[in-house]
Structures are given as structure tokens and as C-alpha cells.
Amino acid sequence: MNKKVEEGFNNQINAELHSAYLYYSMSAYFEDLNLSGFASWMRVQAQEELFHASKFYDFICDRGGRVLMQPIDAVDTEWESPLAAFEAAYGHEKYISDRINKLVKLAREEGDVMAENFLQWFVQEQVEEEATADEKVQEIKMVGNQGQGLFMVDRELGQRTFTMPADGE
Ligand code: OFO
């Protein structure tokens, strides 16, 4: 496998695991606030991130590369409000989209067509990840970050479940 792409993909495994770590931290923050729906939503988000990491892991293995696990940076444990946590999640997804775009550019420069093709799933996924996080930010803003409205959003967020995408194998 192309060495520069392999290094970039290994770094992305780390970034995806870091994302999972961040969302678990947000889940714990919401548990502490007794917002169990918010906490559950974030836990599902963390599971999605573990799935993203495993997709990069499998691709490196399939292409005869070597997966190298790296230390995971610490994450925040407190936010000012539920809205602040979701704004941070939205900001984080924009950062991840930027990373994926750079990986596409790298794969293209290196002429690694298989890697570029593989990354298309993530390009599409990031459109959804950003849209979903932004939608939740707007919902929380609308209900004013507290009271009965927040309770309703909590109930709605609690409905989310993790389903392995069809091409997950
Ligand atoms: Fe949230 O998409 Fe992966 O990191």
C-alpha cells in the first residue's frame, strides 16, 4: 500500500477513535445532567465513530498495510450547557470533514485510486454527520436550552439507535 496514504489512514484511525472518546465524554456529561436521551444519542454517535475507525483499519489490512495504534489525546469533560456540547460536536464534525477532504487530496496526488474510491463513503458520511449535528444545535436553540422544551428534545434524541450500515462487513 502507498506509504503516505497508509500513514494518513493510520492517523485517521486515531482521529476516529478520538471522536468516539469525545462523544463518550459528552455522553457522560449528559448522564450527569440526567438527560438520558442526550446521553444515549452521544453513545450511539461514539459507536458510529468506532465503526468509522474499523473501516480504515480493515482497508489498511486488506491492502497489505500495517495498522499502528497511537495515543489518543485527552478530550473535554465539561461544557457550559447542552447547546455548547452540541455546538462543540458540530465544530468537531467540520474538523473531521476537513481531514477527510485532505485525505482525498492525498490519495489523488499519490494516484491511489482504491483509497480515493474508499474515501467516497466518508465524503458522503460527513455531509450527513455535519447536517445532523447542526440540526440538533438548531433544535436546542429553538427550545431555549432548558425546561420542558429540552425535556422534549431529550425524549426525541433517546429514540436514536445504532444500526450497522449495509456495507459494514
Ligand atoms: Fe463523526 O464522523 Fe467519524 O469522525
Q: What is the CATH number of the domain that holds 26?
A: 1.20.1260.10
Residue of 26, 54, 95, 96 to mutate, ligand 1, most atoms within 8 A of C-beta: 96
Identify the H or E element spanning 146. Answer: none
Residue 165 has pLDDT above 90, yes or no: no
Average pLDDT over residues 39-60: 97
**What is the average pLDDT value for the chain, to the nearest integer?**
95
- Structure confidence at residue 168 as a pLDDT band (50, 70, 90): low
Give 50-80 as a 3 state SS string.
HHHHHHHHHHHHHCCCCCCCCCCCCCCCCCC
Residue 94 domain boundaries? 3-157
Q: How far is CA 153 from the centre of its chain?
A: 21
- Structure confidence at residue 145 as a pLDDT band (50, 70, 90): confident
More confident of the two residues 144 and 73: 73
Q: Is residue 167 part of a domain?
A: no
How many domains are there within the chain? Answer: 1
Residue 143 has pLDDT above 70, yes or no: yes
Which residues line the pocket of ligand 1, CB cutoff 6 A?
16, 19, 49, 52, 93, 96, 129
| Short-list 101, 98, 93, 72, CA closest to 136 | 93
Q: Is residue 52 part of a domain?
A: yes
Average pLDDT over residues 62-71: 98
Q: How far is CA 134 from the centre of its chain?
A: 13
Residue 169 has pLDDT above 60, yes or no: no
The Å distance, Cα 114 to ligand 1 centre, comes to 21
Residue-by-residue DSSP string for 90-133:
HHHHHHHHHHHHHHHHHHHHTT-HHHHHHHHHHHHHHHHHHHHH
pTM of the model: 0.94
The Å distance, Cα 45 to ligand 1 centre, comes to 8
